[in-house]
Amino acid sequence: MATLAISNPLRVITLATLAVLLSLSVSMAAFASGPVAAPQAAPASEGPFITAIGTGVVPPSSTDFISPQQTLYISAQSVSGPDDIQKASDEMQARLVAIRGALEKLGVPLSGVHFTYLNVNPQFGAPQPGSPSPVEKGQPLPQTVTRYTIDASMTADIPSVKLLVPAMNAATQNGATRVNVSAGGKGYQPSSFNPAKADLDKAMADAVEQARSSATSMATATGKKLGEIQSVSAMQPMPDCCPPNTGWRVQVTVTFKIAP
């Protein structure tokens, strides 16, 4: 029978004491922390959805063909001497204000009247005969400013062709030196004009109904039944570009719940 020799009794006692202390520490930690809670389950999904896109069109009104909206480009020009440039610049600004007021009296919305630019361009030339020489004899004469050309421009969105000619006349009578119509021609719709609210509401309803029809077809194809609307989002109404003058287009994205 084999015997276990203990060469160092003090070491055995120390190891036993350490084991007891560790056991007590673990027990106290478990008591302090209390029972461990079970992990919380992730929230359940509200259920599957079907999302569809629908579009609606606001047709052009009956007067759009004969009264397309146009943009009027108005410019003015004047010439000033070197000593009168400030006075001429003030006079040009007064012209623009007068043209704007005349257009407003005709019924042109001020929200569609925009200032474009005001340029002052110096014109150079040699000194006039009889003027004292600015340089020593034998040196080339420097160019000096002999006059200034002042150019100004503005635009106006005209809501009806019936106002086009009166607006052109009002501009020229108040100082415009050139007036022409936007190259967009018939059918151009400036962004400052919007469709009537009643027409827009109908187009939105048509777009939602089209989305519902598409979602119903997808639900049927997958053996589901379409439920109520979960959410709706819409894009900003935009004028149709091709062909022009065909009205406005709206687009909605509709998400439907799946019925149980």
pLDDT of residue 151: 93
69 with 190: CB under 8 angstroms? yes
Q: Is the pLDDT of residue 29 over 70?
A: no
Give the DSSP letter string of 74-133: EEEEEEE-TTSHHHHHHHHHHHHHHHHHHHHHHT--GGGEEEEEEEEEEEEEPPPTTSPP
| Cβ atoms 145, 91 nearer than 8 A | no
CA geometry: angle 136, 139, 142, nearest 5 deg: 95
Give residue 181's pLDDT: 85
Whether domain 70-123+143-181 has CATH 3.30.70.2970: yes
Q: What is the pLDDT of residues 113-155, one digit of tens each?
A: 999 988 998 888 766 666 655 556 666 666 778 889 999 999 9
- Dihedral angle sign, alpha carbons of residues 36, 40, 41, 42: negative
pTM assigned to the model? 0.44
Structure-token pair, residue 259? 């019925």
Only one residue has tokens 């005209």, namely 158
The answer to whether residue 8 scores a pLDDT higher than 80 is no
Tokens of 224: 């589901």
**For residue 168, which of 103, 218, 101, 83 has the smallest C-alpha distance?**
103
Query: What digits encode the pLDDT tens for the residues 153-190?
Result: 999 998 887 888 999 999 999 999 999 987 444 434 44
Tokens of 56: 């609606």
- The DSSP secondary-structure symbol of 232 reads E
Cβ of 89: how many Cβ atoms within 10 Å?
17
Residue 47 sits at φ, ψ, to 5 deg, of: 125, 165
Please tell me the predicted confidence (pLDDT) of residue 95. Answer: 93
- The whole-number pLDDT of residue 6 equals 45
8 A C-beta contact, residue 57 and residue 249:
yes
pLDDT given for residue 1 in this prediction: 42
Type of residue numbered 215: A
Q: What count of other Cβ atoms lies within 10 Å of the Cβ of residue 34?
A: 7
pLDDT (0 to 100) of residue 253: 96
Say yes or no to pLDDT of 5 above 60.
Answer: no
- Domain 49-61+196-258 homologous superfamily, CATH: Protein of unknown function (DUF541), domain 1 (3.30.110.170)
> Which residue matches tokens 């106006």?
156
| Domain spans of the chain, in order of start | 49-61+196-258, 70-123+143-181
